[in-house]
Structure 1
Amino acid sequence: MRSVQGGRLKDVESGLSEYSNRLVRLEDTVSRLVKDNSKLRDKLDDLEFRSRRNNVRILNVPEKMELDVALTFVSSLLLEVLGPSGVLSSAPKLDRAHRLGRLPDDPTNARPRPLICCLHDFQDRERILRRRDKSQLFFRGGKIFIFPDMISSVSEKRATFLGVKRQLYDRKVRFSLRHPARLHVEHSGERLVFDPVGEAQKWYDSTFQQAH
């Protein structure tokens, strides 16, 4: 009887050991797949970001102003808005221009769809986004806004730096937010680069709290 029970116990122990080994292998596989998936998502985000690197997004332009010639309209709009300040000396060449999304059933009571345009010259795009005159922009009597065309995941990552950016601005510390979402800081002769916002905040707290 004891021999039978002992044999059964060994079978159970052997089975548990095998299940434990399978679980370890499964956990290793899942961990590897999670890492691979993260790398693939980063690569896809990078490819999509690069495909939009020459784009700008223009908000609050009333619907149907462009009629059926969005390319010519947006090029003229940019010159009309940014030419007087010296940002553009001529109408920029565009590769593409269109509205984003479907026309609402009642455009009169809906927010205008964004205009997306792809500038042929990347330097034109940089001049538009980095214009020295940061005053409000107006087109045909209405206020408009011009932003970079970011993918949602990058926009979310960049938004996480808002708090530390405000703190750096208040301290008059030079910084810039660069592709895709890295904070570059110049302080005391050093150039620092932060990817996760937590690391940037940790550096700020340790640097300026110690100063007090």
Structure 2
Amino acid sequence: MSNEAPDLASLRSELTGPSENISEDIKTILTSIRQISPTIVEIKQGNADILRRLASIEMHLSDLDGQLAAAEMKIESLTSDVVDLRNRLDDQENKAWRNNVRILGFPEGVEQGNPTRFLGETLPTLLKLPEGTELSMEWAHRSLATRPAPGQRPHPFIVKLLHFSMKELLLKSVRELGILDWEGHRILFFPDLSKALQDRRRLFLPVKKILREKKVKYGLFYPATLQITYRGETTAFGTAEK
């Protein structure tokens, strides 16, 4: 009997000891949970606040996207209007210069202060115009710029003729005569066009060179239309790419 008592006591100790430890562990865990709970609540509240802010930011970004799209459409519309107005202004400018001719090559000062008289006397002979041809110039002057230094290219004459037909006659005579020489100076004639239109027409130069080499008949018409006649068929092109 004496030997059994300690064994029972030991067994009770083994059975009751862990339970007490588990209870203490559970109490510790519950205490920790109670301490953590307020923090979890704060985190949830913080997350909810962040979500509200994100939703507000998304709405704001959506509004900004709409405003940006509207602004881009407005810019495209304004750009189109500016291009249209620029083209109209350029067209009006060139129509106002429709009867003008630009003449390059005459040395500075040969007009002796009277370009209209000088050109009226010189051009008929230079261009071999029919005797008695009246140029009917409204005015003539050098281009407005600082007088060039000796050795530099002289300023061109700009001539406004009263009749478009006279301008066409002068340019036709130039084409037929080819190279024009006046007292050792090469004289060139061009329509008086705006820089924008000159740039558009200049794009046709490589094409015109090829057409001349192949002896294909062509003509460049106002404002910038290349008309080609090949094998009896005439085709017009508005751009050099075409």
What interval of TM-score do these two structures reach, taking the shorter chain for normalisation?
0.7 to 0.9
TM-score under structure 1 length normalisation: 0.83
1:195 counterpart = 2:238 = yes
1:114 counterpart = 2:156 = yes
Quickly say closer, same or farther: Cα 1:25–1:147, change in 2 above 3 A: same
State the shift of 1:147 in Å. 1.6
Could you give the per-residue CA deviations for residues 44-73 of structure 1, whole angstroms, max 9, x where no partner exists? 110111111111111111222212222121
Could you give the per-residue CA deviations for residues 96-147 of structure 1, whole angstroms, max 9, x where no partner exists? 10011335274x4332211111111211110111225233222244332222
Quickly say closer, same or farther: Cα 1:5–1:61, change in 2 above 3 A: same
Quickly say closer, same or farther: Cα 1:87–1:28, change in 2 above 3 A: farther
Distance (Å, rounded) in 1 between the aligned partners of 2:181 and 2:234: 37
TM-score under structure 2 length normalisation: 0.74
1:26 counterpart = 2:71 = yes
Q: What is the identity, as a one-letter code, of the residue corresponding to 1:135?
A: G
Quickly say closer, same or farther: Cα 1:152–1:15, change in 2 above 3 A: same
Q: For residue 180 of structure 1, what is the aligned residue in structure 2?
A: 223
Q: Describe the SS at the equivalent of 1:111.
A: coil
Distance (Å, rounded) in 1 between the aligned partners of 2:192 and 2:131: 19
Distance (Å, rounded) in 2 between the aligned partners of 1:187 and 1:141: 38
Aligned partner of 1:165 among 205, 208, 211: 208
Q: What is the identity, as a one-letter code, of the residue corresponding to 2:102?
A: R
1:134 counterpart = 2:134 = no
1:80 counterpart = 2:129 = no
1:59 counterpart = 2:100 = no
Quickly say closer, same or farther: Cα 1:186–1:105, change in 2 above 3 A: closer
Q: Describe the SS at the equivalent of 1:101.
A: coil
Q: For residue 6 of structure 1, what is the aligned residue in structure 2?
A: 51
Identity of aligned residues (%): 31
Distance (Å, rounded) in 2 between the aligned partners of 1:141 and 1:162: 27
**Which of structures 1 and 2 has the bigger CA Rg?**
2
Identify, as 1 or 2, the structure richer in helix: 2
Distance (Å, rounded) in 1 between the aligned partners of 2:178 and 2:231: 31
* Pairwise CA RMSD: 2.0
Quickly say closer, same or farther: Cα 1:143–1:188, change in 2 above 3 A: closer
Q: For residue 35 of structure 1, what is the aligned residue in structure 2?
A: 80
- The number of residue pairs the alignment matches comes to 196
Distance (Å, rounded) in 1 between the aligned partners of 2:214 and 2:72: 46
Distance (Å, rounded) in 2 between the aligned partners of 1:65 and 1:164: 37
Q: What is the identity, as a one-letter code, of the residue corresponding to 2:134?
A: A
State the shift of 1:194 in Å. 1.8
Native 8 Å contact 1:56 1:118 kept in 2: yes
Native 8 Å contact 2:107 2:154 kept in 1: yes
Q: Describe the SS at the equivalent of 2:177.
A: coil
State the shift of 1:89 in Å. 4.2
